[in-house]
């Protein structure tokens, strides 16, 4: 074994591997977290199975839209923009009319 000097100037004769000591509170919290995660996964699979069962009761033929989400999202954003643009135009027109009534 090599003798090494530490930063404080003491001689170290052995290299010691440090391990993390977990407290009882940490262990309890990790067990609670694991249990909650397990319950969440179980509930999610139950809900998925319910949805699948409901779909299968409708029939055994399904038609899936083959499209790109980004194009659908773009269309939705355009509609939202058109709505806000129309609302702004209406407010501008109303303000102009109100201004004309006040000035005249």
DSSP, collapsed to helix, strand or coil, labels residue 27 as: helix
Cα 54 to Cα 48: distance, rounded to the nearest angstrom: 10
| pLDDT, position 2 | 47
When pLDDT is averaged across residues 15-40 and rounded to a whole number, the result is: 91
| pLDDT, position 92 | 72
When pLDDT is averaged across residues 49-53 and rounded to a whole number, the result is: 90
Cβ atoms 12, 6 nearer than 8 A: yes
The residue count of the chain comes to 104
| pLDDT, position 1 | 43
| pLDDT, position 23 | 94
Give the N- to C-terminal CA distance of the chain in Å, as an integer. 100
Q: Which residues pair with 11 in a beta bridge?
A: 5
In this prediction, residue 18 has a pLDDT band, given cuts at 50, 70 and 90, of confident
* pTM for this predicted structure: 0.40
Residue 27 CA to its chain's centroid (Å): 27
């Amino acid at each position: 074994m090599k003798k090494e000097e530490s930063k404080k100037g003491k001689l170290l004769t052995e290299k010691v591997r440090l391990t993390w000591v977990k407290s009882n509170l940490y262990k309890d919290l990790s067990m609670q977290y694991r249990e909650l995660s397990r319950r969440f996964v179980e509930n999610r699979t139950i809900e998925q199975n319910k949805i699948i069962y409901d779909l299968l009761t409708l029939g055994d033929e399904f038609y899936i839209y083959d499209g790109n989400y980004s194009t659908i999202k773009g269309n939705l954003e355009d509609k939202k923009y058109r709505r806000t643009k129309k609302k702004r135009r209406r407010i501008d027109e109303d303000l102009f009319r109100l201004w004309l009534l006040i000035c005249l």
